[in-house]
Structure 1
Amino acid sequence: MKLLIIIGVIFLGLVTAITLAITLGGPGNPPPMSSINDPFSGVDYSDLPAPRQFTARDGAKLSFREYQVANGLPKGSVVLIHGSSASGKSMHQMAKAFAAAGYTAFALDVRGHGGSGTKGYIDYVGQLENDLEDFSSAIKPQKPATLAGFSSGGGFVLRFAGSAKQQLFSNYLLLSPFIGLDSPTSRPNSGGWVSVGVPRLIAVSALNAIGVRTFNHLPVIKFALSEEAKSFLTPQYSYALLLNFGPERDWRANIRAVRQPLFLVAGQSDEAFHADLFSQTFKAEGKDIPVTLIPGIGHIALTLDPTAIQAAISAVKSMDASLK
C-alpha cells in the first residue's frame, strides 16, 4: 500500500509539472530585432510576380511565385525556401538574380507562412516534406534542380537533403542555415531573434514521446518582430511547425545521410549564427562540403546584398558542373 501511495504521489507530481509547463511555460515576447526587421524596408517589390498555387495531398492550396528566365533556355531551376517567420516574398531579390543568371526560380510560401495555410501552424510533423514533394510533382522544376534554403529554411533544406526523398533535387544549397539548438553554430536565442518557451517545449516533447500529440498546436516560439511586421509575417510557431521547419532533431545523422551535392554560403558577420563554425561542424560528421563566407555580410544581408547573391549563384553553378 505504501508503495502505491508513493507511486501515486510521483504520478500526480509529474502530471502537475507537465500541466504547469504547458499552461504557463510558453514563449515570451522578444523586443524587435532591428537587424532582421529593417533591411527589407528598402526592397523594391514593384516587379514581384503574382502568386500561383499548387494543390497539396490534403487538398490545401499552397502559394509560390515563379521567376522566369527572360532570354534563352533555362540552365536549370532553383527552388527557394525562406527563413523563419517570413514568406517567399523575402527571397525576391535572390529569385530575380537567379532568373537573370539563367535559372527558373521558385519562391515558396512554406505552409504556415504567407499565403499557405494558417500562419504558425501545420497539421503534423512531416507535412512540410510532403508539401515539397507535392510541389515537385505538380510543377516539375527543370533539372538540374537545386533546393536552396535560408536560415530555418536552410535547416529544412538540410532535413530534406538527408531524407529518403533527397533525390528529388539535384543539388542542395544552405544559406546561413539553422542546424540545431545544440549545434556549435547556434547563438543563444539566435542572437535575440527568438524567444523559446522551454518548459512548454520540453513538456510537449515528453508527451509526444509516449504518443500524445494533443498539444502540438500550442505556440512554443515567438520572433522578434516589430508590431508592423507582425501584421504580415508569422509571429509565432506551434510545436509541430517548429519541429518540422528545420533539420531533424538528430541533425548530425541528418548531415551524414546527405548523398547529393551540398554547398553552404554565409556572411562572416552573421548575428544569428557562428558562421566561422559551419565548416568544422559538417567536417565533424564526415562532410567536407564547400563553404563560402562573405566578409562584412550579416544574416539578412545574405539574401539582399548583390555580392552575397552572386556567391549563391556561383555555388549553384559549381554544383551543376560537378554533375556533368
Structure 2
Amino acid sequence: MIKKNLDLRSFKIPLGKLAPQESFRTRQGDLLSYRFYPAWCDDLVVLYHGVGSDSRYMCVLASAIASAGIANVVTPDLRCHGVSLALSDKISPSQLEIDLEELLIHIKMQRAVSRVILAGHSMGGGFVLRVAVSEVRSQFAKFVALAPRLPTSLNAFYEDYGGWISPEADGGFRVNMADIFKSGQEKLHYSPEYSAAVSAPDDVLTRLEKLKPNLSVVIGAEDEVDIPSRYAELFSSINVPVQVVEGLNHLTLVSKPDAYLSRF
C-alpha cells in the first residue's frame, strides 16, 4: 500500500468566512465555545471538528451549508478545545454527549429549531457515529459523518495515520503537528479517557445495522489518514450510503464541499 502523508501547508482558513467565537456556560459550570452560521430556515446542523484544532477549520463547510439555505450551522468547540482548552480531558464516557445536549438547550433558547442534523469530520465524525448508536440519537433527524474515525479493529486507517496521529499504549494519542503550524491554541495530546468518550464503540457497525439511523458517510478518494476503499466496503456491507469524492483528501473534504452538500 502506498504511504500517504497529511500535509497542512496548502490548507488555509478564510477569515472572511469565519463566524465569531461565542460561549455559554453549562449547568455543570463549565464554559464552552462555538461559532454560529445563520440561514433563513429553522433546521440546524451541529458540525463537529477533528483532532488538534477547533471549530475554526470547519468554516468553509459551515458557510456553504448556511449560504445554500440548507440549515443554520453551529460548529462547537469540543470540550478541551476553544475556550475550554485548559480543562482536564480525563472525562467520563458520557461527558461529550452531555455537552452536546447542553449546547442544544442553549441554541434552542435563542432561536426556533425544527430539525437537528448531527455532522462531524474525522474525530468529530467518529463522535457522530457514537451518538447515532446512543440513547440520545432520537434528538436528531439525520447524521452525516465525514471521514469518521473508526475503531482500530476495523483496519480502516493507513498504518501511520498519514503521519498525523501517534497512538499510545494506554489508549490515548498524540497529534503530530509541525511547529510552523502551531499557534498555541491546539490540543496535541488526548488522554485515553477522552479518546474513549469521543470515539465510536468497537461494535458500531453491528449497532448501526440494527438501529438503522438516517446516516450518510462521505470520504475523499485521496484521503491520507483513512482508507477510502475500506470505508466503502464497511459501510456498504451494512447498507449505509457512502460517497467517495474524487479529488478530495482528508482536509479538502471540508474546504471543498460542493460535491456532497446534498447529503445534508
Taking structure 1 as the reference length, what is the TM-score of the superposition? 0.74
Structure 1 position 312 matched with structure 2 position 260: yes
Structure 1 position 183 matched with structure 2 position 170: no
Structure 1 position 150 matched with structure 2 position 121: yes
Q: Name the CA distance, whole Å, in 2 between partners of 1:236 and 1:162.
A: 26
Instruction: Tell me by how many angstroms 1:119 deviates.
Output: 6.0
Q: Kindly tell me: are residues 254 and 89 of structure 1, through their superposed partners in 2, closer, same or farther at Cα, counting changes over 3 Å?
A: farther
**Of 165, 169, 184, which aligns to 2:140?**
169
**Of 222, 226, 235, which aligns to 1:269?**
222
Q: Which amino acid in structure 2 is aligned with residue 243 of structure 1?
A: A
Taking structure 2 as the reference length, what is the TM-score of the superposition? 0.89
Q: Which amino acid in structure 2 is aligned with residue 66 of structure 1?
A: F
Q: Name the CA distance, whole Å, in 1 between partners of 2:10 and 2:194.
A: 25
Counterpart of 2:29?
59
Q: Which amino acid in structure 2 is aligned with residue 62 of structure 1?
A: L
1:86-109 deviation digits (Å, cap 9, x = unpaired): 201110110110110112111110
Q: Is the contact between residue 120 and residue 238 of structure 1 (CA under 8 Å) also seen in structure 2?
A: no
Counterpart of 2:239?
288
**Of 34, 41, 47, which aligns to 1:74?**
41
Instruction: Tell me by how many angstroms 1:143 deviates.
Output: 2.7
Q: Is the contact between residue 17 and residue 63 of structure 2 (CA under 8 Å) also seen in structure 1?
A: no
Instruction: Tell me by how many angstroms 1:144 deviates.
Output: 2.2
What is the CA RMSD across the aligned residues, in angstroms? Answer: 2.0
**Of 99, 103, 122, which aligns to 1:131?**
99
Q: Which has the higher helix share?
A: 1
Q: Which amino acid in structure 1 is aligned with residue 201 of structure 2?
A: E
Q: Name the CA distance, whole Å, in 1 between partners of 2:57 and 2:90.
A: 21
SS at match of 1:39: coil
Q: Is the contact between residue 178 and residue 246 of structure 1 (CA under 8 Å) also seen in structure 2?
A: yes
Q: Is the contact between residue 155 and residue 177 of structure 1 (CA under 8 Å) also seen in structure 2?
A: yes
**Of 192, 195, 203, which aligns to 2:163?**
192
Counterpart of 1:116?
84
Q: Name the CA distance, whole Å, in 1 between partners of 2:210 and 2:218.
A: 20
Structure 1 position 245 matched with structure 2 position 198: yes
Q: Kindly tell me: are residues 154 and 194 of structure 1, through their superposed partners in 2, closer, same or farther at Cα, counting changes over 3 Å?
A: same
Counterpart of 2:209?
256
Larger Rg: 1
Instruction: Tell me by how many angstroms 1:300 deviates.
Output: 0.6
**Of 75, 83, 86, which aligns to 2:53?**
86
Q: Which amino acid in structure 2 is aligned with residue 154 of structure 1?
A: G
Instruction: Tell me by how many angstroms 1:298 deviates.
Output: 0.8
Q: Is the contact between residue 194 and residue 222 of structure 1 (CA under 8 Å) also seen in structure 2?
A: yes
Q: Is the contact between residue 57 and residue 131 of structure 1 (CA under 8 Å) also seen in structure 2?
A: no
SS at match of 2:96: helix
Unaligned 5+ segments in structure 2 are none
Q: Name the CA distance, whole Å, in 1 between partners of 2:10 and 2:82.
A: 19
Q: Kindly tell me: are residues 101 and 63 of structure 1, through their superposed partners in 2, closer, same or farther at Cα, counting changes over 3 Å?
A: same
Instruction: Tell me by how many angstroms 1:47 deviates.
Output: 4.2
Q: Name the CA distance, whole Å, in 2 between partners of 1:156 and 1:243.
A: 10
Q: Is the contact between residue 167 and residue 260 of structure 1 (CA under 8 Å) also seen in structure 2?
A: no
Instruction: Tell me by how many angstroms 1:276 deviates.
Output: 1.3
SS at match of 2:154: coil
Calculate percent identity across the aligned residue pairs.
27
Q: Is the contact between residue 62 and residue 73 of structure 2 (CA under 8 Å) also seen in structure 1?
A: yes
Q: Is the contact between residue 32 and residue 79 of structure 2 (CA under 8 Å) also seen in structure 1?
A: yes
Q: Kindly tell me: are residues 112 and 249 of structure 1, through their superposed partners in 2, closer, same or farther at Cα, counting changes over 3 Å?
A: farther
Q: Is the contact between residue 55 and residue 76 of structure 2 (CA under 8 Å) also seen in structure 1?
A: yes
Aligned residues: 256
